[in-house]
Structure 1
Amino acid sequence: MKFTISPEQRQFAGSVQDLLSGADPAGAARAWARGRSGPGRKLLRGLADLGVPALLVDERHGGLGGDPVDLVVAFEVIGYHAVPGPVVESAAVAPVALTGGAARRWLPAVAAGESFATVLAGPEVPLALDADVADFVLDLRAGTVGEVRIAHRVRSIDPARRLFRLAPGESSPVDEGGRAFETGALAVCAQLLGAGQWLLDTAVGYAKQRSQYGRLIGEYQAIKHLLADVATQLELARPLVHGAAVAAAGGDPLLPREVSAAKVFAGQAAYLAARTALQVHGAIGYTEEHDLGLRLTKVRALLGAWGSASFHRARVRRAVAGAA
């Protein structure tokens, strides 16, 4: 497999980085958590102007006709900045799951950033993310697409991830959602990598500024070792995520195994980054005003999103046992 990111993909990631660095994703996430979607929608429109939701949409429907590697490159930056909203559902899952008339109906608006999807996928994705702003719901287990009818909201560990139970509504059939599920899980892997990298960068920056007992805390070997462990784990997880994206782009039959391995390792790396960043920051990391808290809750929620670690480990075990 080739893991090298192309110059064009690096440039695209740089454009997404420039957009989000010049905006206020943290403020948009806090507003989104309070039910004010305006700032978040503005942020998502900016991503649409760059073509993020159009990456996997076929050119016939106004998209860019890209592949999952392009998607992972963008979603790592999105995860770095903790962008709120149903971006995985709209940009990663809907373009893969929707075909035929459903694709013609919904994908042009999705590619333009004018419509959003929410997704259900059995026990791994039992609740609909941001259903209150979604225009349609995809049920990957049932193979249907239809209207959104909210039953009630369910509390999430991450306030910016607004979860809902849905009531039955009118729907129409779409293709089986196996590949769509893998693409959604892959996008979450990239988000975890991005969040972990932000946590590492922020902890390193804080360690270079915070003094204790007359020395910068970053000068202590214990702190250096903690941060080095995080950097190592992120660098070990990144090739697995990129490799899974290559497998998805090539239609590899072992894609579920690749995605599950990537989800496990990306989750472990991001969780270690979260624990270490909190340890380096101390009590200030618990405050609502500090942006660290946004990533701590985001990582915790993403660990279980699109399949828990135990679910993905079990898939890897079954794949390995089947190949033996």
Structure 2
Amino acid sequence: MRFELTTDQQDFASSLESLLAASDPVGAARAWADGDHAAGLKLWQRLAEQGLTMLATEATPVELCVAYEALGRHAVPGPWVESAAYLPVALGREVEGVATVAVPPQVPYALDADVADEVYVAGPDGLTAATAGDLQVSVDRTRRLFPVVEVRGAPATSLETSGAFDLAVLATAAQLLGAGERVLADSVAYVKQREQFGREIGSYQAIKHQLADVRIALDFARPLVFGAALDPTPRSVSAAKVACGDAAYLASRTGLQVHGAIGYTQEFDLSIWITKIRALVTAWGTPAFHRARILESLLAAR
């Protein structure tokens, strides 16, 4: 089966790409990492006006994947998965403003709780209002993690946990896919410019093979994302998360190798995507968790 986006979906992707390309999301991400949220919240508002906060309740998972791939490709900061994927399904409504949630044990911390208008923690009885603790260190400085404490006496709101969790996992997979694509694109551009021994390093077969392996991994991951968007079962969603995590991580490792020492520097933009990929690989369920869920589903179907 050949999957292609509809004309409307392609137009949505194109308009979103144009908005992000003109909004300096890298600058917003760097400021966000330093605790300055002004630019990131301004971008949040522009994307909300574009309809991104309504996708979980008003559109299909396909449009959501298109949007989150773009968010990953441009390293847009903020609790987008929590506020615009998980919580709208869990609460049964679009979230006003910015919100975040912790879903132990797979999501032990609430992302960006310091800028959220609403903070929740998910438990056996549903969602409960929570307060944030002290900032925790993340490998991705744009992901500001906070432990949360349930507000004593706050009533729990019942929620549909499985569908909300799976949509959040799918959104994270799409972000990984977008981040991997960005690292590959930047790596290809770099090897066409960087010269050693009088030749572009991209002309060497070893470099070509490494980049080709990344291209293949991303191309194999993409159908799993959109296949899961069309039929978001726990197995398909976990398979998409595992494949996108592996492909994006391969892209980050290869990107570091072909860039050399400059790729390790915080000042170089590549570091934003490399650290984000490392963090997203274990966000909303580790690879081991999702592989176990796939295995359990396969064994149950025997």
Letter of the 1:14 partner, please give it.
S
Deviations 1:198-257 (A, max 9, x none): 000000000111111000011111111111000000000000011111113xxxxxx110
Alpha-carbon offset, residue 54 of structure 1? 1.3
Corresponding residue for 1:89? 82
Which runs of structure 2 are paired with 1:283-302 in the superposition (5 Å)? 283-302=261-280
Aligned length: 300
Which runs of structure 2 are paired with 1:165-180 in the superposition (5 Å)? 165-169=147-151, 170-180=154-164
Alpha-carbon offset, residue 146 of structure 1? 4.2
Alpha-carbon offset, residue 56 of structure 1? 2.1
1:238 matches 2:238: no
Corresponding residue for 2:145? 163
CA RMSD of aligned residues (A): 1.3
Name the TM-score, length of structure 2 as normaliser: 0.96
SS at match of 1:56: helix
Note if contact 1:86-1:117 (Cα within 8 Å) is conserved in structure 2: yes
Alpha-carbon offset, residue 132 of structure 1? 0.8
Note if contact 2:228-2:240 (Cα within 8 Å) is conserved in structure 1: yes
Deviations 1:101-155 (A, max 9, x none): xx3xxx2xx3xxx511211212100110011111223433334344341122211
Corresponding residue for 1:251? none
Identity %: 52
Deviations 1:153-190 (A, max 9, x none): 21111110000011221243222311100000000000
Task: Give the unaligned 5+ runs of structure 1.
Answer: 58-64, 249-254
**Structure 2: how far apart are the matches of 1:183 and 1:296?**
24
1:143–1:133 CA distance, 2 compared to 1 (3 A): farther
Which runs of structure 2 are paired with 1:106-255 in the superposition (5 Å)? 107=94, 110=95, 115-169=97-151, 170-248=154-232, 255=233
Task: Give the unaligned 5+ runs of structure 2.
Answer: none
**Structure 2: how far apart are the matches of 1:171 and 1:305?**
27
Deviations 1:82-118 (A, max 9, x none): 100011111111211113xxx3xxx2xx3xxx51121
Note if contact 1:244-1:262 (Cα within 8 Å) is conserved in structure 2: yes
Corresponding residue for 2:12? 12
**After alignment, is 1-10 or 193-202 more displaced?**
1-10
**Structure 2: how far apart are the matches of 1:121 and 1:4?**
33
